[in-house]
Amino acid sequence: MFVQEEKIFAGKVLRLHVCASDGAEWLEEATEDTSVEKLKDRCLKHCAPGGLEDPKNVTHHKLIHAASERVLSDAKTLLEEHVQDEDVILLIRKRAPAPLPKMAEVSAEEQKKQEQKAPDRDAIFRATASLPSHNMDRAVVQTSARDFQTELRKILVSLIEVAQKLLALNPDAVELFRKANAMLDEDEDERMDEAALRQLTEMGFPETRAAKALRLNHMSVPQAMEWLIEHADDPTIDTPLPGPSSQGEAGAEAAPAAGTSEEEEEARDELTEIFKKIRRKREFRADARAVISLMEMGFDEKEVIDALRVSNNQQNAACEWLLGDRRPSPEELDKGIDPESPLFQAILDNPVVQLGLTNPKTLLAFEDMLENPLNSTQWMNDPETGPVMLQISRIFQTLNRT
């Protein structure tokens, strides 16, 4: 008896559950060595008899292995695709590719892109050819527009002088500034950066020493660490900083009673001393690391400190200042604005500013921003000093535009 060779060497017969996209289901038997393309042909003959007249019908469909969600390759066999007995196979029609755009549509799209494209240099020259030419030096334009930060420092210097004079006229001026001085101390005591303190204590420094170093160095961890190392052998390193209570008691003992001219003179002297204390607390302190880095470049220490003061402790800006024309100079930082200028007169005529100048906290804010410009945001958000700063900014911007 004659037996076909393919029957003798046929692989294992698989019973497959086939599901079509129209919901039809049936059982299809195929051997392991059956190709996926042949199985797809048989499935299409079952669900769409006569549909193979179009040769593209086979290529428009695909078989998907339901369990693994894989598209089966037409060139591989069921064994190579790891199809098992009783597996579910999905017969899906492929998504038709998007039609190519017509030439008219392509040209319209290109035309739209050209319309939205920014004009080039030649197009600008053609469009402005009929306009009269003006020769204007860009450097003059840049310097004519006043920089707010530069002008703000001059404004603060002048406003500090006005605030001191106004507050000195108050009969309770000494008491007001004694409280302001104590408030400044409390502010410094309460503003302890817990993360910075924890960082220093984890290095092995005692907590009291670390807190003292942070207060002396404006909560800067690197500077506080350097201070702790430099003063490790200092016998007074554990001496606590003077608190607001002791200053308040000393001020209370020295507080004169109003009456005689001698007492008034003493009050003025005490007020002057308080002003000096406030100014010393806000004095500029150069970043120690920046000083060392800039001095290693060959600059003198005084020059480096001046550069850091002008550039608000920004090392890169300080280096540019040292290598450039060194403007503004440190002396210019202490100069106020012209008291007869329209800008300063407009600021003094503002009712919100006038009221703020009688508040000692406003003077403290001005002093702080003068020496620590980075703290401007803090005072802008303060309910007492924020409205004053907002009015100064608005007046400056209005006059600068005109």
What's the confidence (pLDDT) of residue 352? 93
Range with the poorest average pLDDT among 108-122, 239-253, 274-288, 387-401: 239-253
Quote the CA–CA distance of 398 and 197 in Å, as a whole number.
44
Would you place residue 346 in the very low, low, confident or very high pLDDT band (cuts 50, 70, 90)?
Answer: very high
Q: Which pair of tokens denotes residue 319?
A: 């280096």
Range with the poorest average pLDDT among 282-291, 308-317, 332-341, 344-353: 282-291
More confident residue, 106 or 151: 151
Q: What is the pTM of this model?
A: 0.42
Share of the chain above pLDDT 70, in %: 68
Virtual torsion, Cα 274, 276, 281, 286, nearest 10 deg:
180
Helices (H), ranges, 26-96? 36-47, 56-59
Q: Tell me the average pLDDT across 373-390.
A: 84
Closest by Cα among 47, 40, 35, 114 to 81: 35
User: Can the peptide bond before residue 171 be classed as cis, meaning omega within 30 degrees of 0?
Assistant: no
pLDDT beyond 60 at 253:
no
Q: What are phi and psi of 35, to 5 degrees?
A: -75, 155
pLDDT beyond 90 at 56:
no
Q: Tell me the average pLDDT across 253-277.
A: 52
More confident residue, 187 or 229: 229
pLDDT beyond 80 at 100:
no
What does the mean pLDDT of the chain come to?
A: 75
Range with the poorest average pLDDT among 72-76, 97-101, 120-124: 97-101
Would you place residue 244 in the very low, low, confident or very high pLDDT band (cuts 50, 70, 90)?
Answer: very low
pLDDT beyond 70 at 200:
yes
Q: What is the pLDDT of residues 115-153, one digit of tens each?
A: 666 777 788 788 888 877 665 544 444 444 446 666 888
What's the confidence (pLDDT) of residue 91? 87
Q: Quote the DSSP letter at residue 242.
A: P
Range with the poorest average pLDDT among 36-45, 281-290, 296-305: 281-290
What's the confidence (pLDDT) of residue 252? 40
More confident residue, 29 or 311: 29
pLDDT beyond 50 at 59:
yes
